Structure 1
Amino acid sequence: MLNKYSTLLLLGLLLLVASCGKSSYSTFSKPDEAYKSAQEIAELKKAERQQRRLARKSGIFSKEDKKKVLAKKKGKDSKGRNNGVSANYSSKKVETVISTARSFRGTPYKFGGTTRIGMDCSGLLCTSFQSINVTLPRTSSEQSRFGPTVSTSEIKAGDLVFFSSTQSPSNITHAGMVTEVRNGNEIYFIHSSTSLGVKEDNLFAPYYKRNFIKAVRPGI
């Protein structure tokens, strides 16, 4: 009788050891899927990430990666949500200049100013372009010649826009920089206004549309 219980106990211990020896990690396998431990799954994911990194370096992208790149170009994340980056940005340099200019929003207007204490319209542009080591002319009139003229329909983020209170091309009195283009009928630019300081406005707002003279594209 003792031998019978001993035999059953020994068989039970052997079965327990066999099942525990399979893995000390939790399992995450799906029905009808080969067994994988948590450690094995982690290693597989690590290998996949390494493959994606190598693919990016060699210029080979998976379908998912291509979707992310395309979405980024359209100014959205991989789920189609706006990521806050304009699709019109042509380069990292343009992004840097615009983000620098936006960091001055709310700065009061000051004739001849180029700091957070106060700045004028041409001073804002000079200071913003210094972030990429580009030196713009100091006056709005000179800045209006810093690059080729572009038509309103071709305006992109980073282009400079110029105005005249007398509506005369030979008398540039105000300047700004395009920050965003929406559907072709909304062009936002940042500038230092005499009344409210550094802010963004729509180029097609009646006042600015009436006094708009030209847009130029700086070579950056």
Structure 2
Amino acid sequence: MKRNLILFISPVLVLVVLLATGYKLYTPNVAHPTTNVIAVAEKSEKVQHADDKWVAIPAKGQPGNYSTAEAAEILQYANSLIGSPYQYAGITPAGFDCSGFVTHVFDRFAMDIPHSSSLQASEGIAVAKDEAAPGDLVIFTGTDETDRTPGHVGIVISEPGDTISFVHASSNGGVKISKVQGTRYDIRFLEVRRVL
């Protein structure tokens, strides 16, 4: 009887001690079996499906499987805002600044992107310029291209390998579409970040 009680209490005691010391138990969601959409966990993990397939779960802040359907929805909404005016620190269709526009668009799709171009420059993962895909963030310097810190941001609308086109809120014209190559944006270009 005493041995059975110890066998029962031991795992419970271990759990209580782990929780009391701040250890966190993670129960990540896994890829949906029909859509292969992968959830995000607090730390990178590998989990096993019921069908014995192992799936990597990316860490929070890291993109999962790139979804062209999701990117298309995001761009459709972003493009519907073309013509909205520019407003410093603006985050609504009544007026956007560049990072407020990005924040607003992604928020519409339950994606928490901070309202700051410098913070947006650390979201997701960096991808090569020629791999920029619809829905990626394109990061630029501010108007002083000699200051190589993030100061402007837009959402890529072009396909990988094409000249990068992006939709953004510009202090010169509000929400509009611009190109990188062959413009001052080419000089101001810093990087592309994949957040999907």
TM range (shorter): 0.5 to 0.7
Gaps of 5+ in 2: 1-65
Q: Is 1:133 aligned to 2:133, yes or no?
A: no
Counterparts of 2:135 and 2:81, CA distance in 1:
16
Contact 1:186 1:203 in 2 (8 A): yes
Structure 1 or 2: larger helix share?
1
Amino acid of the structure 2 residue aligned with 1:205 = G
Q: Is 1:157 aligned to 2:134, yes or no?
A: yes
Counterparts of 2:116 and 2:144, CA distance in 1:
17
Q: Which residue of 2 aligns with 1:172?
A: 150
Contact 1:105 1:199 in 2 (8 A): yes
Q: Which residue of 1 aligns with 2:171?
A: 194
Higher RCO (C-alpha 8 Å, min separation 6): 2
Contact 1:137 1:143 in 2 (8 A): yes
Structure 1 or 2: larger strand share?
2
**Moved beyond 6 Å, runs of 4+:** none
Q: Is 1:113 aligned to 2:90, yes or no?
A: yes
How much is the aligned-residue C-alpha RMSD, in angstroms?
Answer: 1.9
Shift of 1:170: 5.2
Amino acid of the structure 2 residue aligned with 1:133 = A
2:72 to 86, 95, 99: 95
Amino acid of the structure 2 residue aligned with 1:155 = A
Counterparts of 2:187 and 2:139, CA distance in 1:
12
Q: Which residue of 2 aligns with 1:203?
A: 180
Q: Which residue of 1 aligns with 2:19?
A: none
Shift of 1:167: 3.1
Cα deviation per residue 1:50-88 (whole Å; 9 max; x = unaligned)? xxxxxxxxxxxxxxxxxxxxxxxxxxxxxxxxxxxxxxx
Counterparts of 2:181 and 2:67, CA distance in 1:
22
Contact 2:132 2:158 in 1 (8 A): no
Q: Report sequence identity in percent.
A: 32
Amino acid of the structure 1 residue aligned with 2:109 = I
Per the normalisation by structure 2, the TM-score is: 0.62
Amino acid of the structure 1 residue aligned with 2:152 = H
Shift of 1:95: 1.4
Shift of 1:185: 4.0
Amino acid of the structure 2 residue aligned with 1:160 = L
1:123 to 89, 100, 104: 100
Gaps of 5+ in 1: 1-88
Shift of 1:144: 0.5
Per the normalisation by structure 1, the TM-score is: 0.56
